[in-house]
A and B are shown apart, each in its own frame.
Chain A
């Protein structure tokens, strides 16, 4: 059977992608941020999975206001990097895993989560920036990726509790797949940030630190935090953090197993408008 071996959490700020694409990673502004991902790149080099299940949000790229799926799973063979208004990022084509993706869709829908199935979709910085942060800038990504897009653009977004339960259903789905695949699940977005209005630029280090602590130690409790707490404390775009609970819900301890091991934890302010948080948890 397939199994989930690790979860990775990271912010996915577009300016990080621009810094990589424009060769600015060694500049004083960016160097501390990229230094924080060096251990992650080394870890990734030693732990390339067969598939990454990558939870992210589309930023009005693949989905306009014509269609707003709450949960969308990409079942295509490949996903092209999108032109977000600056031209497409110069990153490799994202190769999917249609067999596992459609298996997960089937299983999770039967488990009462009404996924939208997407057979054609371009992917934006929400998906490609995390791949760069963990994999660098290779000519091809090291493994297939299943994109899983969550609506966090139009309110109400799914609750933390819903996301946490969905992660558990994804774990069951992966474990019922009849091939010995090593799967990582990534949750991306956040941390505290607000991109709009007179409160733009909000950063709440105390909230972010507590979020990381609870994500490790008390994810079920963290999942009960209501939307308004994210909006008020972490900014209107800080609500992206609910996506981390999908990845956390897929770890073994939530299903009665052992607690995961913290491989790496990192926090940095700022990247453009945003607090960057990062965590790698490995199942034993």
Chain B
């Protein structure tokens, strides 16, 4: 009998469960290593060489190099771990979260100041809210943040 995963029909959302954790183990542990200042310096001086020290998939490494956080999450990354990359780059959680929506930093910040993203239309896959797949990317940011 398979496990009950009632969260698969929540739009625009990946739940970091045991399966994702297994898939992303080395990716997330690489992120964890960036909590040491010496490792942050080595990573920044040659990102590719630093990544090659970890038994990550090539796709995971490319997603990190591109700072494509949605792709990192699809490959098993977790935001609290990926945040270490953001910290290394001098990015806030708001900048990182915003980068996953397709909005520019200003667009995302303005949405939050207006009260945040509405839940309406964003509870179940197949509704018409702004987090649904058919409405991506959401702004003028292009869905990436490499700045």
Contact = CB atoms under 8 A, between A and B. Distances in A.
Interface of A: 14-15, 18, 29, 59-61, 64-66, 82-87, 153-156, 192, 194-207, 227-228, 231-233, 235-237, 269-270, 272-273, 275
A203 B96 CA distance: 17
A198 B138 contact: yes
Given A65-B29, A196-B14, A198-B136, A83 B112 contact: no
A59 B80 contact: yes
Contact of B123 (A18, A205, A232, A273): A232
Which of A59, A198, A270 counts the most B-chain CB atoms under 10 A from its CB? A198
Given A197-B13, A201-B111, A64 B32 contact: yes
B116 A196 contact: no
B52 to A, nearest CB: 20
Chain A, interface SS category: loop
Given A64-B32, A196-B100, A232-B123, A14 B117 contact: no
A181 B89 CA distance: 45
B31 to A, nearest CB: 8
Contacts of A204: 119
B45 to A, nearest CB: 17
Contacts of A194: 13, 97, 117
Which of B98, B102, B112, B113 has the most chain A CB atoms inside 10 A of its CB? B112
A273 B112 contact: yes
Contacts of A195: 79, 93, 96-97
Contacts of B32: 60, 64-65
Given A198-B70, A273-B116, 16 more contacts: A60-B32, A60-B83, A65-B25, A85-B40, A85-B84, A85-B87, A153-B78, A154-B16, A154-B78, A155-B18, A195-B96, A203-B116, A228-B7, A231-B13, A233-B123, A272-B93
Nearest to B18: A154
A84 B69 CA distance: 19
B1 interface: no
Contact of B115 (A198, A203, A228): A203
A204 B119 CA distance: 6
Interface string B62-86: 0000000110010000111101101
Interface string B89-109: 000111011101110000010
A155 B6 CA distance: 12
22 contacts: A29-B113, A60-B84, A64-B29, A65-B21, A85-B35, A85-B87, A153-B80, A155-B16, A155-B18, A195-B93, A196-B13, A196-B97, A197-B100, A198-B101, A199-B13, A202-B122, A228-B6, A231-B7, A232-B7, A270-B115, A272-B94, A273-B116
A86 B83 CA distance: 11
Given A153-B16, A269-B115, A200 B97 contact: yes
Contact of A201 (B15, B81, B112): B112
Interface of B: 6-7, 10-18, 21, 25, 28-29, 31-32, 34-37, 40, 69-70, 73, 78-81, 83-84, 86-88, 92-94, 96-98, 100-102, 108, 111-113, 115-117, 119, 122-124, 131-133, 136-138
A15 B86 CA distance: 14
A201 B93 CA distance: 11
B111 A85 contact: no
Most buried by B among A86, A196, A203, A206: A196
A175 B16 CA distance: 37
A218 B140 CA distance: 44
Nearest to B28: A65
A49 B112 CA distance: 36
Contacts of A15: 92-94
B74 to A, nearest CB: 9
B87 A84 contact: yes
A273 B37 contact: no
B36 to A, nearest CB: 8
A146 B84 CA distance: 26
A86 B21 CA distance: 25
